Structure 1
Amino acid sequence: MRAVLVVNPKATTTSERSRDVLVRALRSEVDLSVRYTRRRGHAADIAREAADQGVDVVVTLGGDGTVNEVVNGLMAARVAAAPDGTTPGPGRPDDADPSGPTLAERLPALATVPGGSTNVFARALGLPREWPDSTSMILEGLRLGRQRTIGLGRADDRYFTFCAGFGFDAAVIHRVEQARRKGRVSTPGLYLRSMLQQYVVGTERRHPAITVERPGEEAEADLATVIVQNTAPWTYVGDREVNPNPAASFDLGLDLLALRRLRVAGTTRTVTQFLSQQPDPHGRQVLRLHDLAEFALVSARPQAFQLDGDYLGEREKVRFTSVPAALRVIC
């Protein structure tokens, strides 16, 4: 079995020594090559090259941003595998033998060793938070052939594994990224301070501008911020799950939660519901939609936009699509 390990050398919770241990462990099970990312987007290039070369498994060592890039590289290869070069749906390509491999089976499987500060995707798959424990679980999965096929989300032409944000939460992530570029360490406290700063000075709360458009349904207008999930949880605060859409699943379509207003009392109550042991966000200011195949978010003014915790700038419109049975993962 051939594998490529994609390493983000800036991963926050690993060292050169721990990377060496990981490489030796993986080489006990697979024929391994190691690639280090050098720039933004490099992991996607490595993953697509691995798929083109017929590699069996792509392993990531990094945070959710590294995983997202690798997934987008693999999915670019998946699009190329479709007979007409367009984005394929689940199942087999039109020219395939019915007994042959599905599109997901044509791609390398993905294995994720958590090396970032939060590692939402790996933890949503049930992998331990610490990389040595996750490595042991992945090695066992490789030996036993243990894998599952998951769905992904797509926002315009980019895929995401666990979440997207349009509005307030994306603006908070932008503030966190700015702080990290200045040398701050990513902690729950940094996110909390960034959230408070954005709420107090950075958000236009009086005039909600976002609309959700769905095929065949009446539009939901005058929304202040939107969270989209492909699985639950949305994120973690330390070991505590944050669950705006607790029914979201890799095996279903996309889930959406929107707030109609960002008033202090209502927003505080909703955030408390996110953090509950049995989360069920509700109230007059909450809009929740479950298992969506497609929809669009449209705004009267530019909104901050993020995918898998990676800030992507401002947009006035984003079209979302659920992509079922898209990718095999080792877990």
Structure 2
Amino acid sequence: MRGLLVVNPAATTTSARTRDVLTHALASEMKLEAVTTQYRGHARDLGRQAADSEDIDLVVALGGDGTVNEVVNGLLHRGPDPDRLPRLAVVPGGSTNVFARALGLPNDAVEATGVILDALRENRERTVGLGLAAGTPGTEDEAVPSRWFTFTAGLGFDAGVVGRVEQQREQGRRSTHALYLRQVVRQFLDEPHRRHGTITLDRPGEEPVTGLVLSIICNTAPWTFLGNRPVYASPRASFDTGLDVMALSRMSTASVARYATQLLTSSPERGPHGKHVVSLHDLAGFTLHSKVRLPLQMDGDHLGLRTSVTFTGVHRALRVIV
């Protein structure tokens, strides 16, 4: 078996020595080429090369959710074809590692590598569904390239938080849960549309849902983690179904406090609920339109401002080692 190991040298929870040990462990089971990423988008380019290769059987992403997202977008640059494309394995090296943990992998890189090696020996894998976002035809965003996401996307408030966190990290701040919480507060205080949302959700055969302030799209559950605590925005979301949406039509101080508490105490049985909560399950496709340009994020990566994005849930898109 031939494998490609994509290593993010900036992975926040692994040292250079640990990455070397993991590389040697993986190389003991296959003919492995290890490549360290050099620039933003390099992991995507490496995934594309692996997809076009005739002799790569497995791509291992060692890094956080951003690295995984890039690799996945490279692998699927010609579309999903799980029987032909290399399989994907994920060694968590970021601060949160939602995709790896949602697959059931340990959050520790060494332990996860052990699980992956056992899975390879036992031929354990699963085929997961993914989300695809594209500019909506007939809008100013129609030329925006489509992009895959593994566990979440968002238009509006949560994407604004992600953008603020990225700005802080570019200034040298460490990615911590405290940093995220501070940016949530600042985004809320600066949010001009929190009482009268600008987002409309359209889906075939249904009445539009209007006046949304926040829209979180989930491809799996949990939505994220605060330390070891899982957070469920859409508890029924799954890699085996379509996309789920959790949206809010109002963000007053009182309602935000209430829904934030519900998120922090959420469980696989119950997520946010109430008068201003919209929860939709197993959607094949839908479009989010906004009256003003709003930030967009996918898998925790800020992608700029958009007015209209069309989302599609794609079943059985990629094989992953578990």
State the TM-score bracket (shorter-chain normalisation).
Answer: over 0.9
2:311 to 314, 320, 330: 320
Displacement, 1:277?
A: 4.8
Q: Are positions 1:149 and 2:140 aligned together?
A: no
Displacement, 1:44?
A: 0.9
Distance in 2 (alpha carbons) for counterparts of 1:71 and 1:203? 35
Structure 1 SS opposite 2:275: coil
Q: Note the 1:90-239 alignment, pairs <5 A.
A: 103-156=81-134, 157-239=146-228
8 Å CA contact 1:168–1:203 kept in 2: the answer is: no
Displacement, 1:202?
A: 4.0
Aligned partner of 1:40 in structure 2 is: 40
Structure 1 SS opposite 2:215: strand
Distance in 2 (alpha carbons) for counterparts of 1:268 and 1:203? 18
Q: TM-score, normalised by structure 1?
A: 0.91
Cα deviations by residue, 1:146-192 (Å, 9 ceiling, x for unpaired): 00000000011100000001111000011110011111111110000
Cα deviations by residue, 1:202-235 (Å, 9 ceiling, x for unpaired): 4432331000000111100111110000000111
Aligned partner of 2:281 in structure 1 is: 290
The amino acid that maps onto 1:199 is F
Is the alpha carbon distance of 1:4 and 1:244 closer, same or farther for their aligned partners in structure 2, counting shifts above 3 Å?
A: same
Structure 2 SS opposite 1:266: helix
Distance in 1 (alpha carbons) for counterparts of 2:282 and 2:238? 9
8 Å CA contact 2:37–2:43 kept in 1: the answer is: yes
Aligned partner of 2:141 in structure 1 is: none
Q: Are positions 1:268 and 2:284 aligned together?
A: no
Displacement, 1:53?
A: 1.4
Displacement, 1:303?
A: 0.7
Distance in 1 (alpha carbons) for counterparts of 2:98 and 2:310? 23
Cα deviations by residue, 1:269-323 (Å, 9 ceiling, x for unpaired): 1121122253332111000100000000000001111000000011000000011
Displacement, 1:28?
A: 0.9
Distance in 2 (alpha carbons) for counterparts of 1:5 and 1:275? 35
Q: Are positions 1:299 and 2:282 aligned together?
A: no
Distance in 2 (alpha carbons) for counterparts of 1:230 and 1:206? 27
Distance in 2 (alpha carbons) for counterparts of 1:16 and 1:69? 21
The amino acid that maps onto 1:49 is Q
Aligned partner of 1:246 in structure 2 is: 235
Displacement, 1:265?
A: 1.1
Percent of aligned positions with the same letter in both sequences? 56
Structure 2, unmatched stretches of 5+, are 135-145
Distance in 1 (alpha carbons) for counterparts of 2:89 and 2:192? 38
Structure 1 SS opposite 2:131: strand
8 Å CA contact 2:196–2:249 kept in 1: the answer is: no
Distance in 2 (alpha carbons) for counterparts of 1:292 and 1:203? 29
Structure 1: which 4+ aligned runs deviate by more than 3 Å? none
Aligned partner of 1:7 in structure 2 is: 7
The amino acid that maps onto 1:37 is T
Distance in 2 (alpha carbons) for counterparts of 1:203 and 1:151? 35
Aligned partner of 2:143 in structure 1 is: none
Structure 1 SS opposite 2:20: helix
Q: Are positions 1:60 and 2:61 aligned together?
A: yes
8 Å CA contact 1:44–1:71 kept in 2: the answer is: yes
Structure 1 SS opposite 2:194: coil
The amino acid that maps onto 1:314 is L
Structure 1 SS opposite 2:272: coil
